[in-house]
Amino acid sequence: MISVESRRAFFLFLALFAGLLLVWQLSTASAPERSPYGIPQGNAEYQMLMGHAPGTTQTREGFPGPARFVASALQALHAPFHNNGPSDRGIGWQVGASLLRVAIGYGLAVVVAVPLGFLIGLRPVIRRAVDPFIQILRPISPLAWMPLALYTIRNAEGCGIFVIFICSLWPIVLNTAFGVGSVRREWLNVARTLEVGWARRVLFVLLPAAAPTIITGMRIGLGIAWLAIVAAEMLVGSSGIGYFVWNQWNNLSLSNVLLAVLLIGFTGMVLDGALAALQRSVTYAE
Amino acid sequence: MSGFSFLRPPRATLLQCAPAVPAGAVCGCGAVHAPPARIGRRAVLGALAAGTVLGSLPSPLRAAVPAGPLERADVTIGFVPISCAAPLIMAEAQGFFIQEGLRVQLQKTANWALVRDRLLDGHLNASHLLSPMPLALSLGLGGNAPHAVRVASMQNLNGQAITLALRHHDRRDPRQWKGMTFAIPFEFSMHNLLLRAYLARHGLDPDHDVTLRVTAPPDMVANLRAGNIDGFLGPEPFNQRAVIEEVGFIHILTAEIWDGHPCCAFGMTAAFMDASPNTAAALQRAMIRAADFMQQPDNRAQAARIMAQPRYLNQPELVIRQSLTGHYADGLGVVRDNPRRAAYSPYPYPSMAVWIMSQFERWGYLKGPVDYRDVAQQVFLIDTVRQQAQAMNLPQPADGGNNWPSFNIMGQHFDPDHPSFFNQG
């Protein structure tokens, strides 16, 4: 039985969505503004060249309304995995390419950040020593790293991966350190009394106890990684969803840019949902 | 205004230089290598002036066209999605590369800084370049060390325009443009140099009377609509695109500023040409054939259809066709015809390079003396283009074999022997 609360929330969601569509429709319904010097009537040749002749496709797009957006989105999603060489791949390939980059850069970040976080969380001396570095490096925008990365790495692919790595690293380090540092002393004392070895203590006491906090850090890191990759690909990409946005913007095709924007949001939501599920599976009640 | 924020140091390993080239001496890659200690900019320029950097290079394509089996068949070539890339696109689409036994992968690249970086680091074996770029790179302008880059053929002539926002429809005299902001695609571009020469010819100081802003072409159209810029000298099809979007009008075609000006080039690093001379020659042949294909007026409509595809320009065919055929709407209600709007000729005349370098000097990009003729001859490989075109029985240009023609630019004479006279005029 669905609760009254969630039914209400659902109807409110529908109302908001309908309102959004209505505003979108109304704000794009009027024809795009005409140039005051454009299209003299009676000059058929000029009209044809401006894309206004009957029977020619309208070249000038303007901001698409909901109906036109859905039509062009269906067209783009019709063959998401078409492949006509590296410069013309379907949107599915582009999302895949971005996900692959994120997987590599983010995977590396997790591999580095979790042990580092353990070290910092367990040794207050180390925490205090590295804290200034982390505090300075943490707020740097991913794109601010781009010039340095391009200069030193000299490889567009490597740059994208580095940018993801460097910006998803810090939240994972900080959360891991915090989680490990706030494990209850009693549990560690019990482990010590039972003469549990160092490796077992980390794996079977600290890791499960700190897991929910670590995964919170990983969720934040993944969110940042997904933000960063799109921007990085717009600058240096030859594939990926960021490249898709650039390529469609090159054609001033706002429908496709809008489609990509929504797809970026949707993919980010799915990624976050996956980690949220992982988080639920490691959460424990004390 | 610097387009060179992501520059790199010289990469001796990629350029395949001998490990122990003495400082200041000439290496096979065409660059003077810095000694472990810093080599001053002065010293490099001094060496350039003495003609030691580029002058005594054994360039495989300079003397004779090599004939032999391809060193490599797989070649990655970069391009920027603008109409200037037409010969490169046609060389792929019409099979000119395949006829040479080359398997070419065209790599669409987002901006000129990236083209430069990827060419120098070897991800691209050859690339579509703005014709001032090989000169700037070979001279080491913009803060980077010299990298020898060669123009194996010219891609296109003319083919740009100055587009103004519609609200300036009654300000057609450049003398009224003081305080305006114009977009250009790259610092080392014909767009920048031509716009500066045009403004200077009409009494404006391009460094102080107007603002020039490096902007990607699609952003030029969007900024014109938003009113952030007053106009741009940009590549096609974006001038025509601004017209069809009803945000701008074509003030003047660059064909009307300097008919026959070079625009984009097809280039490779000297290191690649030295390592793969037969492949380089095959690429050059395909590009010469493609330029000849594009120069035929009958092929332009077909080219527009091909270039409109998503994998190439990803632009409406109607827009590309107008910029290629020169039968176009000007944005102010008039249909105009100028068959010279876009022209294609593979011959990289060294006197063009002299004009470009004299403009580098004029606007302060190049400091210190440079032997223009010597550098021009090293970078613009016209002799091999002539030989290859002749061997393929393609029509020869009506220049009487003169590699150093002078030019008529805005009614002003440019003599490559006296380049500074032009700048005073």
For residue B43, the model assigns a pLDDT of 43
Closest CA to B88 of B325, B320, B301, B294: B294
Q: Quote ipTM for the complex.
A: 0.72
At residue B294, φ and ψ (nearest 5 deg) are -70, -30
Q: Is B317 helix (H, G, I), strand (E, B) or coil?
A: helix
The label of the residue with tokens 């716009």 reads: B195
Nearest in space to A118 (alpha carbons), one of A198, A196, A210: A210
Tens of pLDDT along A167-203?
899 999 999 989 888 888 888 888 888 877 778 887 8
Cβ within 8 Å, pair B244-A38: no
Residue of A nearest to B124 (CA): A155
pLDDT digits (tens, 9 = 90+) for B170-215: 889 999 999 899 999 999 999 999 999 999 999 999 999 999 988 8
CATH number at residue A151: 1.10.3720.10
Q: Rounded to the nearest 5°, which phi and psi values hold at B240?
A: -70, -35
| Minimum-distance CB partner of A88 among B105, B222, B310 | B310
Q: Which of B118, B218, B335 is facing A252, going by the closest CB pair? A: B218
Within 153-212 of A, beta carbons closer than 8 Å to B belong to: 154-156
Does a structural domain hold residue A38? no
Question: Is A22 part of any domain?
Answer: no
Residue A98 lies in a domain: yes
3-state secondary structure of B381: coil
Q: Which of A125, A111, A214 is nearest to A171 (CA)?
A: A214
Q: Which residues of chain A neighbour B104 with C-beta distances below 8 Å?
A: none
Domains in chain B and their CATH numbers?
41-152+262-298+345-424 (3.40.190.10)
Residue B38's alpha-carbon distances to B41, B42, B52, B392, in angstroms, are 9, 11, 19, 48
Cβ within 8 Å, pair A37-B331: yes
The one-digit pLDDT tens for each residue of chain A (286 residues) are 568 888 899 999 999 999 998 888 888 776 655 555 556 666 778 888 887 766 555 555 667 888 888 888 888 777 777 777 666 778 888 888 889 999 999 999 999 999 999 889 888 898 889 889 988 888 888 778 877 887 777 777 788 888 889 889 999 999 998 988 888 888 888 888 887 777 888 788 888 888 888 999 999 999 989 888 888 888 777 788 888 888 888 777 888 888 888 989 999 999 999 999 998 888 887 7
Could you give the CA distance from residue B410 to residue B80 in angstroms, rounded to a whole number?
28
- Asked whether residue A108 is domain-assigned, the answer is yes
**Is any Cβ of chain B less than 8 angstroms from the Cβ of A30?**
no
Query: How far does the CA of residue B150 sit from the closest CA of chain A (Å)?
Result: 22
Contact B169 A155 (CB under 8 A): no
Query: What percent of chain B is predicted at pLDDT more than 90?
Result: 42
A and B: number of Cβ contacts within 8 A: 112
Pairing of strands B126-130, B74-79: parallel
Cβ pair A59:B318 closer than 8 A: yes
Does residue A5 lie within any of the structural domains? no
Q: Domain for residue A18, yes or no? A: no
Q: Is residue A179 part of a domain?
A: yes
State the residue for tokens 């050859």.
Answer: B126
- In chain A, whose CA is at the least distance from the CA of B327? A49
Asked if A88 and B311 come within 8 Å (Cβ–Cβ), the reply is yes
Number of independent structural domains in chain A: 1
Q: What is the DSSP string of B119-173?
A: HHTTS-SEEEEETHHHHHHHHTGGGSPP--EEEEEE--EE-EEEEEEGGGTT--S
Q: State which residues form the domain around A218.
A: 91-282
* pLDDT, tens digit (0-9, with 9 covering 90-100), for B266-276: 999 999 999 99
> Quick check: is A28 in a domain?
no
